[in-house]
A and B are shown apart, each in its own frame.
Chain A
């Protein structure tokens, strides 16, 4: 039995246990868990709704679902890359914010033609995010500062400073958020009419698939990727074999930051078009969950993102249909996380059962 297969089994078991626990809560609230879970699928355009508003159909729901999950793909990929060096990038939200804020003020409010503006948005956001990510890596390497602590500190610092700048310079007096960016800079083609229906077309989604393949190649086929994984597996062994541990850490955090920055761009200049001051996007924290469930592999997160985003995107529809609070979605996600955190334990148990069976034969 190969290892990859085992990991998929373990992830599936963890998710299943989490869903069962969620179902128990739904039962306690005297609702039917199966129809609750089915309404999640309906909310994401994966199952037909009973009734559609004008200009909407299942495919248009699905297009907004893809739009919704695109930031998470980048964010989870960012966590994966850092995780491979044994670092924990809990600062994705802050990096998203810095990257997207810079892109918003430099490009979002300009008249640059969209052919030029869209790539520039991505480049600037990537640079902004990469800068913060790289800084966290450097602080770890040079001053031995725990990356979790520095990420958190930078998260809040970024959030308050950017909040201050938005409130004093870029605020929309009605919505109390930053002013809407122009359509030229937006990475989602918002509410495009095709036939009689309107769709949200996320340009970033294709870029995300490209990024996943690129990260997979980087990790599996290049010297840098090999070094990154070595440092993650055993820092001391890597040091003795002559790998520059410090620079591997800085580089992987830099890449992680770049991906986070792009996540910010496809979120704040794609899925939505404004930044709410002093609020850190939950995407950055949920990305850790997605990475965990996806077995911290680039291909794994494609599936775990798809799966977990159904729960969070579908929760609005579920809440309106079932009369359950939408927050229950994050509780279910949290429960899945809890069981996923025990995946090493589950794996051990599977091996033990297998060994016993092997001995019996």
Chain B
């Protein structure tokens, strides 16, 4: 396999989970709910997913793919459930949305670390702070993967990449082509008008936040099954924040956000490839890890003042102020 293919393959498997998480963030923020909780939501989703895989995997043969798909399902459910906390804090308790997001992140880290240890000790009888998952089995799409260069996009795929691609398209369709999507986008720009049209703003916001929880949870389990090959507190390395940066770049729109995620993904995989090609010691790969973060800052310097946030972003909707 040549260098370019490796960069494409590794770049895509990082960019796609990031992208699906960013789409969740777009849903939440377009509906008017600031969502810094993505980091915690993806971690919590990864936790519930990994736990499900463990429990189900105990009764099956070692190489079965069934636990993997259950893990994804439970990650989606877990992320959705945990995101309700954010939705309730923001919509019912009228908490500051930024603070709520940070609180959710801190709580998710604390709870998953505590639960992982407690469950390992009391149920599985092992003193461990992680659930080992391994890496998902990869596959090639026949024929098209043989195309030179571009074929790399269809080579060595994780199954979740296909799932993400389908979900991303569905999410795009829902947001831009359906009445629900229109209401959601309007709820973030002018909630009073949406309310006047007889649509329940709070309900839309609850659904939007749950959507972000579900998609973040999925992203979390994808990272757990690819980059980290386990669930542990290592899952909290800031990918959630990276997804937020990506959606801000993308101006809260889905297609440009995909571009931002691809930039992050390829910057990261290209950096690793360069370190490897030059034969540098492994400590140099830490410098590569910096690339997406620095790139974000640099790009934001050029793009941030052009991007238009949803107008009612971060304000709890108060009917009495209409």
Contacts and interface: CB of A to CB of B under 8 A. Distances in A.
Contacts of A328: 114
Contacts of B94: 344-345
B93 A157 contact: no
A334 B294 contact: no
A161 interface: yes
B95 A331 contact: no
Interface in B95-146: 95-96, 98-100, 102-103, 106-107, 109-111, 113-114, 117-118, 121
A59 interface: no
A325 B117 contact: yes
B103 A167 contact: no
Contacts of A167: 283, 286
Contact of B107 (A150, A152, A163, A337): A337
A144 B121 CA distance: 48
Interface stretch (A37-45, A104-112, A245-253, A282-290): A282-290
Contact of A345 (B95, B113, B241): B95
Contact of A149 (B93, B106, B296, B305): B296
Given A153-B296, A330-B110, A341-B95, A144 B304 contact: yes
Contact of A88 (B95, B98, B289): B98
A335 B110 CA distance: 10
Interface size class of B (residues with CB under 8 A): 35 or more
B267 interface: no
B286 A278 contact: yes
B286 A149 contact: no
A178 to B, nearest CB: 14
Interface size class for chain A?
A: 35 or more
A143 interface: yes
B213 to A, nearest CB: 16
Interface string A284-300: 01101100100000000
Contact of A156 (B95, B99, B111, B290): B290
Contacts of B111: 331, 334
B304 A143 contact: yes
Nearest to A280: B238
A154 interface: yes
Interface string B218-245: 0000000000000000000110010011
A221 to B, nearest CB: 27
Given A156-B238, A164-B287, A330-B114, A90 B102 contact: yes
Interface string A126-145: 00000000000001000111
B215 interface: no
Most buried by A among B102, B121, B237: B102
A146 interface: yes
Nearest to B302: A143
B62 interface: no
Contact of B283 (A168, A327, A342): A168
Interface in A147-174: 148-150, 152-157, 160-161, 163-164, 167-168
A325 B237 CA distance: 23
Contact of B294 (A139, A153, A164, A331): A153
Nearest to B305: A144
Contacts of B283: 164, 167-168
Contacts of B300: 139, 143, 145, 149-150
Interface in A319-361: 325, 327-328, 330-331, 333-335, 337-338, 341-342, 344-345
Interface of A is mostly: helix
Given A327-B113, A330-B113, A331-B111, A285 B296 contact: no
Nearest to B102: A288
B244 A163 contact: no
Contacts of A330: 106, 109-110, 113-114
A29 interface: yes
Contact of B95 (A152, A153, A344): A344
B301 interface: yes
A261 B103 CA distance: 23
Contacts of A335: 107
A23 to B, nearest CB: 15
Contact of B100 (A161, A168, A286, A341): A341
Nearest to B284: A164
Contacts of B41: none
Contacts of A289: 103, 106
A143 B245 contact: no
B249 to A, nearest CB: 10
Contact of B289 (A29, A146, A160, A168): A160
21 contacts: A145-B300, A145-B301, A153-B293, A153-B296, A153-B297, A163-B286, A168-B283, A325-B118, A327-B110, A327-B113, A330-B109, A330-B114, A331-B114, A333-B106, A334-B110, A337-B106, A341-B96, A341-B100, A341-B103, A342-B95, A344-B95
The 4 closest A-B pairs by CB, nearest first: A334-B107, A330-B110, A327-B114, A342-B93
Interface of B: 36, 85, 89, 93-96, 98-100, 102-103, 106-107, 109-111, 113-114, 117-118, 121, 237-238, 241, 244-245, 248, 283-284, 286-287, 289-290, 293-294, 296-297, 300-301, 304-305
Interface of A: 29, 88, 90, 139, 143-146, 148-150, 152-157, 160-161, 163-164, 167-168, 278, 285-286, 288-289, 292, 325, 327-328, 330-331, 333-335, 337-338, 341-342, 344-345
